[in-house]
Amino acid sequence: MSLPLLLEIGTEEIPDWMIEPALGHLQALFQELLEQNRLKAESVKTDATPRRLVLRAEGLPERQPDAEELISGPPASAAFKDGQPTGAALGFARKMGVDVADLTIQNTPRGEYLCYLKRTAGRATRDILAEGLPQTILGIHFPKTMYWTGKGGPRFIRPIRWLVALLGAEVVPFEVAGVKSGDRTSGHRVLGQQGIAVSTADYEQALKANFVLLSAQERRRKIESEIEALLQGTGLKVRPDPALLNTLVYITEYPTPILGSFDPEFLKLPEEVLVTVMRHHQKYFSMEEADGRLAPRFIAVMNTNSDAEGLVRHGNERVLRARFNDARFFWSVDQQKKLEDRVPDLAYVTFQAKLGSYLDKTRRIVKLSRRLAKLAGVESAAVERAALLSKCDLTTEMVKELTELQGVMGGLYARAQGEPEEIWRAIYEQYKPVGMEDSIPSTATGRILALADKVDTLVGCFRVGLIPSGSKDPFALRRAAQGVVKILVEGKLSLPLSKLIGKDQALMEFFLDRVRYYFREVRGFRYDEVNAVLAAGCEDLTDVESRLEAIQAVRPTENFEPLAASFKRIKNILKQAEFAGGGVPDATLLEQGPEADLYSAFQALRSRVKRLRKKREYRTALEAIASLRPQVDSFFDRVLVNAPEPDIRLNRLTLLHNLLSEFSAIADFSEIVTTLADARGPAASPGTRP
Amino acid sequence: MESFQDVLFKLKKYWSDRGCIIQEPYDLEVGAGTMAPETALRVLGPKPYRVAYVQPSRRPADGRYGENPNRLYKHSQLQVILKPTPDDIIDQYLQSLEAIGIDLRKHDIKFEEDNWESPTLGAWGIGWQVMLDGLEITQFTYFQQCGGIDLDVVPVELTYGLERIAAFLQGKDSVYDIEWTPGVTYGDVRLAEELQFSVYNFEMADVPALWKLFDLHEKECQRLLDAYKDYPDKKRFPVLPAYDQVLKCSHVFNLLDSRGALSVTERVAVIARVRKLALGAAQCWLDQQNLQSEAAGAAEVAQ
């Protein structure tokens, strides 16, 4: 008979962002438990609300299958003497707890041995689960856990308050943190009952009757469809915000959206401020009019079924009004002191304990942005001014309250205080790009400032040992480095990497990981193309991009991959010969035919390729190199590199070395994986994520 | 309509009915109810304890000269400590809201992640901010550590923001319009105090004098803590007065901060100095408790 399993871990409210990863982990741990016990389920699925993590399996066997294990004892030759069991045989039987008569002689790969076929009856699935589930539950990984039963007690994300564990109609009995498993669940905190008896069949329905929608998908649909209904005929639109929607799905058990409004007077405040207050502080969706302007309305999502008297709407409107009033106050009070006059105050704002205050950082950014502007050929006065003012908004009341608006606020204040657009926009966009989907700063000044800020953080943190490891990256250095790469490439800034980050080898490695990630995952180049191009140099990322584009374009042509294979061959030959290079081939030692042909073709090409390379016409250069293929092929078909005469051999190696080094400046072709099946390779190997 | 003081009375009565000692506010300046010894020290060690008190909490940097309708230099917290935490604590908490007239079926309650931490006290906990119709009304924390010490028994700390709750119940947009008791507003009682302390805290507090005070309190505290080890009759030892000196240091630090007198490095260093004292006092207090319970245990055995 096959049985369904229901496991519900009833907790106090779990932080929304931890729930989905926890479910993944729960499922994996459960599968492990099954595998370890030779059990199989037809299906396993998980669900959650803030107060419950749920795993349901279908088709579990009532018992584990029986097991047979062949245990070998002494060799048959030593087991019996004159038809009588020896001491060795008797000892083995004793050890197995059976009579010698229960043992058999078996033919094993090592010869004939006295063996015992041990049969173990499968255990009841219920017993296995009762034993294993406590560890499965407590094994779920959470970023931060607590204890609640006392020091040394079990740890979980929040206290476990009830457990439902049913296999078929029976409770799987166990205990975690003093809570015994049973068949009773709890409904919605306010609208539902407690101690509701459930079965595996009626569980989800029983929850629904108690105002708990177990399925995240269902909660999401309820929010979306009810918002749509609220907006019917209003002409308003919701500004889509999938991350906020997901948060709301996981902080509610029975979500219901309501539509609220605020005084249109507040629309005089910068839209950035209004949206941030609504989004980050109140978890409201912003709304817009048909023409795209921000509307004086919002959508809040309640964790209850209705707001019949409008009290919840009224309460939320009141809170929002207070927050907007605060913001209006900050906006006017902050204007009383210009950004410029706030520079000294930055001494009182910590950047990082070991790296000093934001005043220290500002001084470094000013210097660095001046240097970068010169290197990039950007006019430096505006950059320096923007850099000087860039962190001043950290001392404003608005940013102290709405930290998400740092940078943006500085830009808005700079604009209000009459700074030219070039400067205020650079300040406004200094933290861009905030992710790989975000755009880079829109102006050259802004790009230099954003680079200087990020590079300062990276170099500083690496210097004092704050290097990201695993999932720990408190200063968001990966994002900063990713941002630098994106700005350099997409901003077409030919700044040498070593000039940006200096000599720190660990930081260079860290950067190269970001560079690889960017070109592979964001730009979609193949991993071997990226390796080939980076092996030929990675100082200038705009140049890396040009070379990659050229490779990508030339790769499908008929000569390219075979030539790449030949280059790999050349590399191997030189390596085996331990040939260090140097010198040029001696034309007089060349054999007529393929060798001389290759040499003259190479001679004819090299200066042309060099010229094309200088002009960064990599595609044409690569096509020219690829045109050598017939000569290279025929050389390898008909010429023996390892000629018996040492001088001829040396000359041939020199020729190959010249060929390789001359034509490897765009990309190291030997890195190209030449069978197409391989070329997809380990594109997503561990450690390449940003 | 519930007056401000009705809310206080009802919450105190509610928790009194659930076995809490009702304490009066601690009579020193503190930044939060947590700082009062009734919380900061009593959470240490295995001894059960239940207490509730209103604690006026002074945060000099939060003052707004009485001009901001929601921000106060001094606000009132109702602090509840239940040690150990009862299993149905959230239900008990929700019923306390019903007790002050909030019909939960007509409102929206959410528990949003918020882990409280006090670097000066060496304390932190796990919990939520409780949101009522989008308004944060309570900080709900399971204490994990205090004075740098892992707690034997996990207490729950409920910190109700009383002005916010009263303004919510009365539908007032400004705390100063809250009715304290019929005919008297919160502004009548407290506006002058907010204004004058804002002036003092931001403009007139004498920074060199504050530094001197800090040094004096620190020295006095450290002198006491150093004396603990060799003090013969430990139960007589003045740990609680030493802890008072920690509180004074902490308040002077807050004043220096609101005067903008602390650079980044100074700020970090001063927090570390207060923290060192707080950890020392917590250690002594716990040691004293353990000696007393050992003595009590020995007395029982002797009988």
Distance from CA of B232 to the nearest CA of A (A): 31
| Confidence (pLDDT) at B303 | 62
Domain identity same for A521 and A578? no
C-alpha distances in angstroms, A93 versus A75, A117, A395?
13, 11, 83
Closest of A41, A190, A279, A319 to residue B90, by C-alpha: A190
- Domain membership flag for residue A6: yes
Nearest chain A residue to B127 by CA: give it: A158
| Confidence (pLDDT) at A499 | 87
Interface ipTM > 0.85: yes
Domain identity same for A231 and A367? no
Amino acid at A64: Q
Residue B1 in contact with residue B179, Cβ under 8 Å? yes
Residue range A10-22: mean pLDDT, rounded = 97
- Domain membership flag for residue A540: yes
Residue range A227-252: mean pLDDT, rounded = 96
- Considering A104, A120, A136, which residue would you say is the last residue of a domain? A120
What count of CB pairs under 8 Å joins A to B? 115
In 3-state terms, what secondary structure has residue A450? helix
Per-residue pLDDT of A599-623, as tens digits, reads 989 888 888 898 998 999 999 998 8
Domain identity same for A129 and A225? no
Closest of A174, A151, A150 to residue A164, by C-alpha: A174
Return mean pLDDT, chain A: 91
| Confidence (pLDDT) at A680 | 36
Q: Is the pLDDT of residue A688 over 60?
A: no
- Domain membership flag for residue A677: no
Give percent of chain A with pLDDT exceeding 70: 98
> Lowest-pLDDT range, A261-270, A306-315, A503-512?
A503-512
Cβ contact, residue pair B152, A151, below 8 Å: yes
Q: Give the tokens for residue A509.
A: 């490695």
Domain identity same for A28 and A106? no
- Domain membership flag for residue A688: no
CATH, residue A527: 1.10.3210.10
Domain identity same for A77 and A170? no
Residue A23 in contact with residue A7, Cβ under 8 Å? no
- For residues A666 and A659, give the distance between their C-alpha atoms in angstroms, rounded to a whole number: 13
CATH, residue A595: 1.10.730.10
Q: What is the tally of structural domains in chain A?
A: 5
- Domain membership flag for residue A658: yes
Q: Determine which of B44, B106, B142, B153 to mutate to test the interface with A (most A C-beta atoms within 10 Å).
A: B106
A-chain CB neighbours of B263 within 8 Å are 347-348, 357
Label residue B302 by pLDDT band (50, 70, 90). low
Residue range A213-230: mean pLDDT, rounded = 97
- Domain membership flag for residue A551: no
Cβ contact, residue pair A312, B135, below 8 Å: no
Per-residue pLDDT of A245-278, as tens digits, reads 999 999 999 999 999 999 999 999 999 999 999 9
Domain identity same for A456 and A307? no
The answer, for B142 touching chain A at a CB cutoff of 8 Å, is: yes
| Confidence (pLDDT) at A186 | 98
Beta strands in A349-472 (DSSP E): 350-352, 356-357
Nearest chain B residue to A255 by CA: give it: B108
Label residue B221 by pLDDT band (50, 70, 90). very high
- Domain membership flag for residue A494: yes
| Confidence (pLDDT) at A354 | 85
Distance from CA of B178 to the nearest CA of A (A): 15
The answer, for B24 touching chain A at a CB cutoff of 8 Å, is: no
Per-residue pLDDT of A206-220, as tens digits, reads 999 999 999 999 999
Structural domain including A304 reads 216-334
Per-residue pLDDT of B184-194, as tens digits, reads 999 999 999 99
Q: Give the tokens for residue A259.
A: 């539509």
Domain identity same for A415 and A536? yes
Residue A303 in contact with residue A254, Cβ under 8 Å? yes
Label residue B285 by pLDDT band (50, 70, 90). very high
- Domain membership flag for residue A683: no
- For residues A364 and A385, give the distance between their C-alpha atoms in angstroms, rounded to a whole number: 13
| Confidence (pLDDT) at A623 | 87
Return mean pLDDT, chain B: 94
Q: Is the pLDDT of residue A682 over 50?
A: no
B-chain CB neighbours of A189 within 8 Å are 90, 94, 109
Q: Give the tokens for residue A599.
A: 């040499």
- For residues A564 and A570, give the distance between their C-alpha atoms in angstroms, rounded to a whole number: 10
The pTM of this model reads: 0.83
Distance from CA of B71 to the nearest CA of A (A): 9
- A140 compared with A576, residue with greater pLDDT: A140
Q: Is the pLDDT of residue A684 over 50?
A: no
- Considering A545, A578, A601, which residue would you say is the last residue of a domain? A545
Domain identity same for A326 and A364? no
Residue A176 in contact with residue A154, Cβ under 8 Å? yes
Per-residue pLDDT of B127-162, as tens digits, reads 999 999 999 999 999 999 999 999 999 999 999 999
Q: Give the tokens for residue A489.
A: 């490439």
Alpha helices, DSSP H, located in chain B: 4-17, 37-40, 89-99, 162-170, 186-199, 207-228, 239-258, 264-302
B-chain CB neighbours of A349 within 8 Å are 264
Q: Is the pLDDT of residue A686 over 70?
A: no
Distance from CA of A310 to the nearest CA of B (A): 9
Hey, which residues does A410 pair with through a beta bridge? Answer: none
Cβ contact, residue pair A13, B107, below 8 Å: no
Domain identity same for A584 and A470? no
Closest of B93, B72, B71 to residue B82, by C-alpha: B93
Tokens 């994300």 belong to residue: A157
Label residue A110 by pLDDT band (50, 70, 90). confident
Q: Is the pLDDT of residue A683 over 60?
A: no
The answer, for B151 touching chain A at a CB cutoff of 8 Å, is: yes
- B102 compared with B68, residue with greater pLDDT: B102
- Considering A147, A177, A209, which residue would you say is the last residue of a domain? A209
Cβ contact, residue pair A251, B68, below 8 Å: no
C-alpha distances in angstroms, A528 versus A10, A531, B154, B201, B252?
49, 5, 55, 64, 63
Domain identity same for A377 and A472? yes
Domain identity same for A478 and A578? no
Q: Which of A148, A158, A303 sits opposite B108 (nearest CB)?
A: A303
Task: Give the strand pairing for B49-58 and B21-23.
Answer: parallel
Domain identity same for A257 and A307? yes
For chain B positions 263-282, those within 8 Å of chain A (CB to CB) are 263-265, 267-268
| Confidence (pLDDT) at B264 | 66
